[in-house]
Amino acid sequence: MISVNNSNNAALLILKTGQEKTTFEPDYFLGPSNISSGVILKAVNSAFAESKDLQNQFHAKVEELTKQYKLDTGEEPDPASMKRGALVHVIEDNRQAFPPEEFVIKTKLEDGSEIESTIRSLVYYSGNLFEKEVAEKKEQYEASIAAEPEPDAAAIKLNALSQVVKTLILDSQDSTLALLGESDADSEENLAKQFLEN
């Protein structure tokens, strides 16, 4: 017969509680909630199962909503209500990761009442998603501009002067030769002959 003392039981409970947050259990995310379509329910479960980020967002949101409720009311919240709130927030914040059509989440609370939350279709959120992507691209662009060194004024002046010299002296010779219809080697030979004959 093996005996286990209470301190070991507490350690096992803490270990088990920590593991619940790292393993995916569909019942934990939905709890007493139900989704209007079985196909959508499977897709929502699949999205959470495949993404640790979504799971972490869900857990963080449950904790945030629970703390806020306690601060506002001084009472313990209904866990089903907190999970429903977190589920709705995570789906709306990551709408592109879930089925695109509109669906309903119904949650039965401890007091017997029911809350119904409608998740609008992806089309409804498309403007917000576009704005979010534009903001991210703008932020990346601004970060890359900030990372570039300040241009050297002397180097800019030198580059401009070299372009002027190239245009006035070097390019003008090429255009004169082109007008004469001669290649560089032929024209240089002909010019040299003129000087030698005189």
Interval 159-175: pLDDT, tens: 777 787 777 776 665 55
Closest among 98, 117, 95, 92 to 106, alpha carbons compared: 117
For residue 149, give the DSSP letter: P
Q: Return phi, psi of residue 174, to 5°.
A: -65, -40
Identify the band that residue 192 occupies on the pLDDT scale cut at 50, 70 and 90.
Answer: low
For residue 81, give the DSSP letter: H
- Choice between 186 and 52, residue whose per-residue pLDDT is larger: 52
Interval 82-102: pLDDT, tens: 998 999 999 999 988 998 888
pLDDT for 31 equals: 63
Nearest-5° Cα angle at 58, 54 to 64: 140
For residue 106, give the DSSP letter: E
What are 191's two structure tokens? Answer: 């010019």
119: Cβ–Cβ under 8 A, 6 or more apart, which residues?
Answer: 88, 91, 92, 95, 98, 102, 103, 104, 105
Give the rounded percent of residues in the chain with a pLDDT score beyond 70.
67
pLDDT for 185 equals: 53
End-to-end CA, the chain: 124
- Exposure class string for 19-32: b at 16+ Cβ within 10 A, else e: eeeeebeeebbbbb
- Choice between 9 and 185, residue whose per-residue pLDDT is larger: 185
